[in-house]
Chain A
């Protein structure tokens, strides 16, 4: 600070600025005015400082006219409600966000998303338009059309021999079903015959035991026969019975025995 310290030639620098700015007391002012009347250097300095003050004042006036304003909202957030409240930003919906997302996405992502959406929509349409609901044995089953549509699509992909390919296939399926039914009926008939043969054989074996002594040995092929014969007199338990339908169709052993006795 001492390096920049300027001194008044008369050593009255502080008195000079006090007088210049009007902050001198009455006695200080009177004493300095008396000195000014006698000191040309101080009068020169007073005049020069007055000119400096005038120049600084002009600069300040120019600053005030050209000074940029401060945005009050930057200082006081709550002081700018007229713009923020009146022009409140609209609430963004999920759709807006989605649109913005795709607008900012690369092209490959947009096309890929569109293709995936198309596949999903197609599957959903198949599921909805070809759905099948069944109620069997008190249970409810739902079958979507996707599972059934897949074979149909596969069939459609195969080459067809004319326009009646589907009808021919249906006829073939019906014929196969009829053949299976016939085979089933033949098997059942053979089973009935074999049952009747067995019963007759048992009857033939049991009938002599009623007339012949019990010491006669049983045939070797009928290892289970003695048990069935022994159990014939025992009361039948319901759980031991076969299917009711089959038993009703077959003649009962006791009836056969009684018929033979008659």
Chain B
């Protein structure tokens, strides 16, 4: 992208200022910097590659449309993550209303292609990848409200208060959900033997 070299050493906030001034290419740099993290966050919450891809695109589209709403009070990363989380939550609610297939059923069939190690040869499937696949299945098997909390905390290191604000729940609810999520993940991973491999 033209002008990328000029803004390599520029902070996200400065780039957003340029985008607010009408430099659309500057926002392209923001997309390049954060697209993978936003996708990972969306995939962690939604559990489906296609949904995560759509949510990522919608996140940046919404951010671009609301550039004027960013006043610099927070970091660009927090601003983007908040938008992404809202996109994911909205998608989860829509899916719930439509009664779509549960993630558990989908993941048992081998769900996300990009995250599965099926592309690699068996001899290349390392123990770490097997463990990651087990974690993916375990996280995706969590109820959406637990999955959202644990992903927002583990993936983006949002504070309890930030998560509570994003989800619109009390701070204590965030803590209790996080404790419950960790406990269920422990049970699932120990059942699979993934967590015990670290011990």
Same complex for A and B? Answer yes
Q: Which of A21, A57, A72, A75 has the most chain B CB within a 10 Å cutoff?
A: A75
A72 to chain B, nearest CB (A): 4
Q: State whether the Cβ of A5 lies closer than 8 Å to any Cβ in chain B.
A: yes
Q: State whether the Cβ of B20 lies closer than 8 Å to any Cβ in chain A.
A: no
How many angstroms between the C-alpha atoms of A57 and B154 in the bound complex? 7
A79 near B182 (CB under 8 angstroms)?
no
A4 near B135 (CB under 8 angstroms)?
no
Q: Interface size on A (CB < 8 Å)?
A: 44
Q: Interface size on B (CB < 8 Å)?
A: 58
Q: State whether the Cβ of A249 lies closer than 8 Å to any Cβ in chain B.
A: no
By secondary structure, the B interface counts as: helix
- A72's partner among B32, B43, B131, B186 (CB-CB below 8 A) is B32
Residues of A within 8 A of B114 (CB): 66-68
B139 near A56 (CB under 8 angstroms)?
yes
B179 near A8 (CB under 8 angstroms)?
yes
Instruction: Choose the segment among A12-20, A142-150, A209-217 that binds chain B (4+ C-beta atoms closer than 8 Å).
Output: A12-20
Which residue of the partner chain A has the closest CB to B183? A6
Residues of B within 8 A of A49 (CB): 182-183, 186
Q: State whether the Cβ of B121 lies closer than 8 Å to any Cβ in chain A.
A: no
B153 near A21 (CB under 8 angstroms)?
yes
Q: State whether the Cβ of A53 lies closer than 8 Å to any Cβ in chain B.
A: yes
B11 to chain A, nearest CB (A): 19
B179 near A16 (CB under 8 angstroms)?
yes
A59 to chain B, nearest CB (A): 4
Which residue of the partner chain B has the closest CB to A77? B24
How many angstroms between the C-alpha atoms of A16 and B154 in the bound complex? 16
- A17's partner among B40, B131, B178, B195 (CB-CB below 8 A) is B178
B186 near A76 (CB under 8 angstroms)?
no
How many angstroms between the C-alpha atoms of A72 and B31 in the bound complex? 6
A56 to chain B, nearest CB (A): 5
A52 near B115 (CB under 8 angstroms)?
no
On whether A48 and B145 interact (CB within 8 A), knowing A56-B135, A76-B24, the answer reads no
Residues of B within 8 A of A47 (CB): 199
How many angstroms between the C-alpha atoms of A16 and B183 in the bound complex? 12
B38 to chain A, nearest CB (A): 8
A51 near B36 (CB under 8 angstroms)?
no
By secondary structure, the A interface counts as: helix
Tell me how many residue pairs across A and B have CB atoms closer than 8 Å: 147
How many angstroms between the C-alpha atoms of A20 and B185 in the bound complex? 15
B43 near A55 (CB under 8 angstroms)?
no
Q: Which of B85-131 contact A (CB under 8 A)?
A: 114-115, 128-129, 131
A51 near B60 (CB under 8 angstroms)?
no
How many angstroms between the C-alpha atoms of A45 and B179 in the bound complex? 10
Q: State whether the Cβ of A105 lies closer than 8 Å to any Cβ in chain B.
A: no
- A79's partner among B28, B35, B190 (CB-CB below 8 A) is B28
Q: Which of B170-196 contact A (CB under 8 A)?
A: 172, 175-176, 178-180, 182-186, 189-190, 194-195
On whether A60 and B40 interact (CB within 8 A), knowing A52-B182, A66-B114, A75-B31, the answer reads yes
How many angstroms between the C-alpha atoms of A55 and B43 in the bound complex? 16
- A6's partner among B49, B175, B184, B190 (CB-CB below 8 A) is B184
On whether A17 and B175 interact (CB within 8 A), knowing A56-B154, A75-B31, A79-B25, the answer reads yes
A62 near B24 (CB under 8 angstroms)?
no
A108 to chain B, nearest CB (A): 46
27 pairs, CB–CB < 8 Å, chain A vs chain B? A5-B176, A5-B180, A6-B179, A13-B176, A17-B178, A17-B179, A18-B160, A21-B178, A52-B189, A53-B154, A55-B132, A56-B139, A56-B154, A59-B139, A60-B44, A60-B155, A63-B115, A64-B37, A67-B35, A68-B53, A69-B39, A70-B35, A70-B60, A72-B60, A75-B31, A76-B60, A76-B64
Residues of A within 8 A of B (CB): 1, 4-6, 8, 13-14, 16-18, 20-21, 23, 45, 47-49, 51-60, 62-64, 66-70, 72, 74-76, 78-82
